Amino acid sequence: MNYNSQPTPGKPVRGSKTGQPIMVIFDLLGRKWAMGIIWHLNNGPSTFRALQAYCENISPTTLNKRIKELSNAHLIMKTLDGYALTEQGKELFNLISPLGKWAKTWAKKITI
């Protein structure tokens, strides 16, 4: 089986030979720093180096890969001010943003 390194709807990804959209998104977001990048960019456009600084330990190699993948997926784009969320990226952020509040209560419950 041959999986594309760029998760694309309609093409096989890990978890779905038919490329079900939700599985494509899980594959895309389930890569290191992908959600963190989207989370951060909601604060406004950011340069490559600023993103690197935000994602404390990300290597430029990995950051560059995530940027390309998320750009290909039309979730982020390059602007004169740096990388920024697209309209679709903002939509996605709005969907995952409730996780922030939930995570805090979750953290309290599971921490001894």
- Can you tell me which of 25, 51, 67, 76 binds its own copies, judged by CB under 8 A? 25
Q: Which does 39 bind (CB under 5 to 8 A by kind): its own copies, DNA, none?
A: its own copies
Nearest to 48 by CA among 39, 37, 34: 37
DSSP-assigned letters across all residues of 51-87: HHHHSTT--HHHHHHHHHHHHHTTSEEEETTEEEE-H
**Binding interface with its own copies (CB under 8 A):** 1, 8-10, 14-17, 21-26, 29-36, 39, 55-58, 73-74, 88, 91-92, 95-96, 98-100, 102-104, 106-107, 109-111
